Amino acid sequence: MSVTPMRRQYLNIKRQYPDAILLFRLGDFYETFDDDARIVSQVCDIVLTSRPVGGDKRVPLAGVPYHALESYLAKLLAAGYKVAICEQVSDPNGRDLVEREVVRVVTPGTVIEPALLPERRNNYIAAAILEGERAGLAYADITTGEFATTQMESRDILQRLTEELARLQPAELLWPAGSAWPAAFQTLPSARTEYDDWHFDEETARRALMDHFGVSSLAGYGCDGLPLAVRAAGALLQYLQHTQKGALSQLAGLHTYSTEDFMTLDPATRRNLELVETIRTRSTEGSLLGVLDRTRTSMGARLLRQWLNQPLLDRARLERRLDCVQALVEDGLLRANLRKHLEKVGDLERLINRVQMGTARPRDLVGLRRGLEVVPEIAGLAEKMPAGSALAELMAGLDACGEVVDLLARAVVEDPPALLSQGGVIREGFHAELDELRHRSRDAKDWVARLEQTERERTGIKSLKVGYNKVFGYYVEVTRPNLHLVPADYIRKQTLANAERFVTPELKEYEALILHAEDRILELEAVLFKEVCERVAAEAGRVLDTARRLAQLDVLASLAEVAVTHRYVRPEIAEDGVIDIRAGRHPVVEVTLRDHPFVPNDVYLSPEQQIIILTGPNMSGKSTYLRMTALIVLMAQIGSFVPADAAHIGLVDRIFTRIGAQDEIAAGQSTFMVEMIETANILHHATPRSLVILDEIGRGTSTYDGISIAWAVVEYLHHHPNLRAKTLFATHYHELTELAERLPHVRNYNVQVTEVGDQIVFQHRIVPGGADKSYGIHVAQLAGLPRAVVQRAQEILERLERNGTRAPAAGVREPPASQLPLFTLTDPIVEELLQLDINTMTPLEALNTLYALQKRAQSRGKR
């Protein structure tokens, strides 16, 4: 069957992009056809029509206006689609079919539209490959030019790989199509792209990298001997080339790194410690990042997030960061000035990147220039600093890129329009021909502007008007009553109800001049703009280096600002395995408490005092203490000051956490299973340099199981020669305090509680020694349970304790069910109350339950 030439063209292109929605440029629209049209119509909520394609055949059609592309892109990406953008690449001449080409494939990991990107975090795309006990992982952010790769080897390689991916949170992950997608990746936010295996082939990958960088060996990039790192990076590069159609000059280098150089944080620990977002609302506010981020630029914000996700193990690097923070803490004026200037810098990193990619708009160039103009002022601040200091060194490397600034200042006007096609972008005096054209065009326009006056005088027609419309161009309009005054050289063009429109040969000439000049001006501006971009792009390396230094300064100044605001101190970094924190505070809780001040606490962990068992009632502050310790260690290892009076931090290679049960309950998983999987992970991977936070393990099962497991875990951590990890263990099973009597490196601590009458008051103060009793019942009282219930509970507790069923060492056993009814259950409400497991309830749940119970009791009272 015969189809139209355009249909044939469409089908040819579509065939090359079977997994993408093809947006086919047709004049002012991007059209989609067939199944693509159905999808677009549904996802973007636009009308589905049809179009003839030859014979009497019609196919479904849905189109979006070209200027609204971004909002439709956002919808399609969010719905999980990839989008190939096909443009007209030759000018329509009315005769031949316009040539069309896909210029870019937009996928979640290759978005470059500023409006669709988060400013303050990276948008990574990653590629990974797994082989035996080894894995390769590469990632890039094409909006900043970052490109890195690593190779890992481990008995639990999949887990290590998932951990590293969890750090990066890539928007898109490439995975060899021939390998099964691991279930462990389910927790990642990444869109999955199965990429043909041959792209991961070592030779293909190596060749792709070498061609891209124009080198004959990868040795200079540090990955020559790491085949999996090469394969991942090469596959990623090929994919980016395919989607970006080769416009990839911003990927100027490849950084090979080792995950061994950084503290390992598993995904659960990242989440539990609420490093960059809270567990409940997933907001930055309320997370550690929320407290630490006082950055002034988006690039600084992105870097701080990177630092936070990747604490260091290298003492020298940490000391350098800390030296900088200290210098900025001590010199308030310097810090204030630096931050004031940084505010004006903007996102140089992404701006220069857009210039390199060829997607910069006129205002991007102005932004770039203004940002760079601030650099000398920032560099000037360094003059008063002691030479050789880490901060001075960082600042000394700033390059104001004078020629770039100069070029941009000469080339681009101060306040250009948003789009190049609107004209008026290139500054007067930059290019002689352009100036000349503009001159002529202006003269001609002036002539036309004066025409009304001169013709009125010449003809004596007072109401004569000169106007312009798209169809006829310039014209002279004379109203009907005056037509007899029209001179002979007027040529009639158009008749209206009350007037006629004329042109004169001279007017036509000027019109041609103006129109020609305007076309030519736009053309020339486009050429010049491109040239300027290319010249700037040639200096991109210098600009980028400066941008990255500014980002570092921004992060360091942010950390210093926070340190001053919240009275943090410089931690002493050591390698002696001792953690000694004096009067430490939880960085987030201390700023969120309203009605009472935060109570600081000490922490001491060392090879001798390796394990702390912390007992205390619910809501007394155990979890806060544990997290505080982890966060202070982590902050020290990103180079931040810490919330304490003093802190000595022996570097930690990993932080493990096993915290709480409520969130997994919400996620519908078996709590106990999750708990045990995470505990197993800890026992398999902890080292003597690790910090382990165990918050109420064993809670997901019955009391006796729980106590027994917790007991065994502590013993194992204590005895196992490869472990000996520093451990903080919070529990409300005060039976576990017996461990300290048996194991030499275990110490008991408890949260101090004072009793006032029969009320208890939480002091939130951690003191040596085990809690001598459980306060669960007091918490019930605090929560407002009826007095009668509390008293009855107290009685039952005493009977249980007298029967010795709470002593585990005597032999762990579950009391037979027949022993349980110590009391007669007459009231269903009381019965329900007694069955509540208050320890696992959130305050809100407790309140809701109470409310419901009270309602029922009240309604019964009325009956």
Ligand X SMILES: Nc1ncnc2c1ncn2[C@@H]1O[C@H](COP(=O)(O)OP(=O)(O)O)[C@@H](O)[C@H]1O
Q: Which residues bind ligand X (CB under 6 A)?
A: 589, 593, 598-599, 601, 616, 618-624, 764
Rounded distance between C-alpha atoms, residue 848 and residue 857, angstroms: 14
Element (H, E) at 157: helix 157-168
d(CA 620, CA 774): 12
Q: How far is CA 83 from the centre of its chain?
A: 22
Closest CB 556 distance from Mg ion, rounded Å: 34
Residue 86 CB, nearest approach to Mg ion (Å): 57
The one of ligand X, Mg ion, none whose footprint includes residue 620, by CB under 5 to 8 A per kind, is ligand X
Taking CB within 5 to 8 Å according to partner kind, which of Mg ion, ligand X, none is near residue 490?
none
Residue 123 or 623: which CB sits closer to ligand X? 623
From Mg ion, ligand X, none, which one binds at residue 259 (CB under 5 to 8 Å depending on kind)?
none
110 binds, among ligand X, Mg ion, none (CB under 5 to 8 A by kind): none
CB of residue 699 to Mg ion, shortest distance in Å: 10
| Alpha-carbon Rg for the chain in angstroms | 36
Q: Phi first, then psi: what are they for 427, rounded to 5°? A: -75, 150
Which stretch in 145-153, 519-527, 615-623, 678-686 sits in contact with Mg ion by CB under 5 A? 615-623
CB of 298 to ligand X, least distance (A): 33
Residues 6 or more apart in contact with residue 314 via CB below 8 angstroms = 261
Residue closer to ligand X (CB basis): 37 or 707? 707
What single-letter DSSP state applies at residue 785? -
The yes or no reply on residue 750 touching Mg ion (CB under 5 A) is no
Smallest gap, in angstroms, from Cβ of residue 737 to ligand X?
15
Which CA distances in Å does 710 have to 620, 678, 715, 778, 858? 20, 13, 9, 24, 42
Nearest-angstrom CA–CA distance, 753 and 732: 14
We find the least distance from the C-beta atom of residue 260 to Mg ion, in angstroms, to be 33
- CA 616/CA 622 separation, integer angstroms: 7
Say which entry of Mg ion, ligand X, none residue 624 contacts (CB below 5 to 8 A, set by partner kind).
Answer: ligand X
Specify the stretch interacting with Mg ion by CB under 5 A; choose among 150-158, 617-625, 709-717, 766-774. Answer: 617-625
User: Which residues, in sequence order, are CB contacts of 733 under 8 Å at separation 6+?
Assistant: 615, 698, 703, 706, 707, 710
Residue placing its CB nearer to Mg ion in the complex, 112 or 626: 626
Residue 598 or 733 with smaller CB distance to ligand X: 598
Short-list 626, 623, 642, CA closest to 634: 642
Show the DSSP H helices in 278-401 as ranges: 288-292, 298-309, 315-330, 332-342, 348-357, 362-381, 390-396
CB of 621 to ligand X, least distance (A): 3
Start-to-end Cα distance in the chain? 83
Cβ-based neighbours of 861, under 8 Å, separated by 6 or more: none
Q: How far is the CB of 753 from ligand X (least distance, A)?
A: 11
Which C-beta is closer to ligand X: that of 426 or that of 730?
Answer: 730
- Return the number of the residue (151 or 601) whose C-beta is nearest ligand X: 601
Pick 623 or 727: Cβ nearer Mg ion: 623
**Closest-CB residue for Mg ion?**
623
* Residue with smaller CB distance to ligand X, 554 or 675: 675
C-beta of 499 vs 599, nearer to ligand X: 599
Q: Which helix (H) or strand (E) holds 782?
A: helix 776-782
Binding partner at 235 among ligand X, Mg ion, none, C-beta below 5 to 8 Å by kind? none
Judged by CB under 5 A, the residue of 123, 238, 623, 671 near Mg ion is 623
For 583, other C-beta atoms within 10 Å of its C-beta total 15
Nearest partner of 669 among 627, 712, 638, 700, judged by Cα: 700
Give the C-alpha distances (Å, rounded to integers) separating 8 from 5, 17, 28, 116, 685: 5, 15, 21, 33, 59
As measured in angstroms, the least distance from the Cβ of 297 to Mg ion is 38
Min separation Cβ 552 and ligand X, Å: 33
Least distance in angstroms from the C-beta of 263 to ligand X:
24
**CA torsion through residues 842, 844, 845, 849, sign:** positive
Q: 419: alpha, beta or left, given left = phi > 0 and alpha = psi -120 to 50?
A: beta
By C-alpha distance, which of 354, 351, 345 is closest to 398?
345
**CB-neighbour burial class of residue 330 (10 A; exposed 0-12, middle 13-18, buried 19+):** exposed
- What is the SS3 assignment for 211? helix
By beta-carbon proximity to ligand X, the closer residue of 526 and 591 is 591
325 vs 630, beta carbon nearer ligand X: 630
Q: Mark residue 550 as left, alpha or beta (left: phi above 0; alpha: psi -120 to 50; beta: remaining).
A: alpha
Cβ nearer to Mg ion, comparing 161 with 697: 697
The stretch near Mg ion (CB under 5 A) out of 102-110, 172-180, 209-217, 618-626 is 618-626
Instruction: Give the residue at shortest CB distance from ligand X.
Output: 621
- Of 755, 751, 794, the C-alpha closest to 771 is 751
Give the whole-angstrom CA distance, residue 507 versus residue 696: 89
- 764 contacts which partner out of ligand X, Mg ion, none, CB within 5 to 8 A by kind? ligand X
| Smaller CB separation from ligand X, 107 or 618 | 618
- In the complex, minimum distance from the CB of residue 265 to ligand X, in angstroms, rounded to a whole number: 21
**Beta carbon nearer to ligand X, 80 or 784:** 784
Stretch that binds Mg ion, among 300-308, 538-546, 616-624, 757-765 (CB under 5 A): 616-624
CB of 619 to ligand X, least distance (A): 5
Q: Describe the crossing of helices 787-802 and 828-835 by its angle, rounded to 10 degrees.
A: 60
Q: Distance between CA atoms of 151 and 137, rounded to whole angstroms?
A: 6
Residue placing its CB nearer to Mg ion in the complex, 90 or 842:
842
Size of the site for Mg ion (CB under 5 A): 1
Min dist CB 616 to ligand X, Å, is 6
Shortest approach of ligand X to residue 750 CB, angstroms? 10
What SS3 class is residue 759?
strand
CB-nearer residue toward ligand X: 179 or 839: 839
Per partner kind, with CB cut-offs from 5 to 8 A, the member of ligand X, Mg ion, none near residue 496 is: none
Looking at the Cβ atoms of 747 and 764, the one nearer to ligand X is: 764
Least distance in Å: CB of 694 to ligand X? 12
- 599: partner contacted, choices Mg ion, ligand X, none (Cβ within 5-8 A by kind): ligand X
List of residues 6+ apart from 649 with CB closer than 8 A? 571, 572, 573, 574, 579, 581, 632, 633, 636, 637, 642
Secondary structure E strands in 402-545:
465-469, 473-479, 491-495, 499-503
Q: Please report how close the Cβ of residue 335 comes to ligand X at its closest, in angstroms.
A: 29
Q: Which residues bind Mg ion (CB under 5 A)?
A: 623
